[in-house]
Amino acid sequence: METVHQMIEESRNELIGTLQRWIGVPSVKSEAVEGAPFGAEVARALDMALNDAKAMGFAVRNFDHYAGDVRMGPLGVDPLGILVHLDVVPVGDGWTCNPFEAIVAGDRIIGRGTSDDKGPAAAALYAMNAIRQAGIPLKREVRLIFGCDEESGWDDIAYYTAHCDMPRTGFSPDASYPIINTEKGLLVMELRAKPAADGLNVLKIAVGERHNVIPGIATALVEGDANLCDRINRLAEEMTLDVTAEPAEGGLKLTAKGILGHAAYPEIARNASGVLLLMLRALGVKGPLKTLADMIGVEYDGESLGAACRDDASGALTCNLGILRYDENGLYAVLDFRFPLLANGKRIAETVTAALGPDITATVEAQKEPHHVAPNSPLVTALLDAYHDETGRAKECVATGGGTYARCLQEGVAFGAHFPEEDDVAHQADEYLTLESLMTNVRILARAIVSLAGDDEATVD
């Protein structure tokens, strides 16, 4: 590994520059156009990554801009899959800099996608390149798969699997270290209801763009005058809710503030839609908005919905109100549940539907079952050894509410790229990755690849 480490260090500046260019592409999913199923910018991000890999000397493939891959070693021989993604979530609120400028400030690269998941994707590519430059012999194919729809519907992986053999084993550096061998199930539910017949007249709410993002700011336009405005501001202080009101065209504008975050980790965020709903309930709102305030509010464990559950392997169920829309046509909302390994998604959906009552129509938009790999498997053992040997840190397996491409593999785990002591900034404003973390990831991934794919002549001393 000494030669590999040397190659990695020599590529430091090139890697940073590559990541900055990748971050500079605003690869948020948009309307499909010819040759770009997830929008022109996502296609541009894939082209850029594949062209960079091709310039390094790798064999690359582009599957109609749904996904692409980079391969080395004996092609077709028991591929080791490394699954990453180039699409990013929408920018959201609260940024203090241009999210697609990729500035380097001190030891940080700041920009949307630095940690989720362009930084780890670049680290994996440069780990492969260091192994290639060092001349390490391989006994199996190593395949880096670039996905383009991870943050939305995973249509990229469905297309890739339909047009190519998916590796049996591998990992996805799209979560945290040491190893996530258990991923909770995912349940996405759409809610629809007619508008309220009486109570506070809410004219419009439009919060959130993705079910897997916890909104940091939520606004509503309500019918009211200066007296109601004063009342709202008094109630906010009494109820310790971060809500303000001000006159606006057509009524009063309420602004509720929370803490932006990822739906898988609601304990470190605060849903602004929930804050807004609690204020609207205090003001006398009725109908479906009151139901959501009663059944969810700022809860994130599903308790009032009757869905709360947990197990020792994967922890507790989480619930996120990711999208909230309301106007004269009624309510539209999307709930994101992450449920434990031993829970039943269908039963949770039935319980939630019953709790919401007959006036709200609830339908299941998507469901993914939990994913688990035995902690003593050869894959997990080799990855934990690589992590420990590069960092000296303890070997352990953990569970997550996040869903990664690892579950697309028969035997796949999430491996990196976030270290336990680091701030979890995925999907948040001013998302960043430290240069030290970036380089450490390259070394860990390189060691893991050599351990899992190197032939008998390759050593990892």
Q: Which residues are catalytic?
A: 87, 150
Backbone angles phi, psi at 453, to 5 degrees: -120, -10
* DSSP summary character for residue 343: S
Coil, strand or helix at 25: coil
Q: How far apart are CA 313 and CA 401, in angstroms?
A: 12
Work out the number of other CB atoms within 10 angstroms of the CB of residue 378.
12
Let me know if 48 is exposed, middle or buried by CB neighbors in 10 A (0-12, 13-18, 19+): middle
Output helix, strand, coil percentages for the chain, rounded to the nearest 5. 30, 30, 40
Let me know if 456 is exposed, middle or buried by CB neighbors in 10 A (0-12, 13-18, 19+): exposed
Backbone angles phi, psi at 168, to 5 degrees: -80, -40
Cβ-contact 419, 177 below 8 angstroms:
yes
**Residue owning tokens 């605060």:** 270
Q: What is the CA radius of gyration of the chain?
A: 23
Cβ-contact 218, 209 below 8 angstroms:
no
Q: How far apart are CA 355 and CA 349, in angstroms?
A: 10
Strand 108-110 relative to strand 103-105: parallel, antiparallel, unpaired?
A: antiparallel
Cβ-contact 84, 144 below 8 angstroms:
yes
State the number of CA atoms in the 13 A half-sphere of 63 facing the CB. 22
Q: In what order do the strands lie in the sheet with 185-193?
A: 243-248, 251-257, 217-222, 202-207, 318-327, 330-339, 185-193, 360-368
Q: How far apart are CA 124 and CA 126, in angstroms?
A: 6
Cβ-contact 438, 224 below 8 angstroms:
no
Token pair in block for residue 352: 């939630």
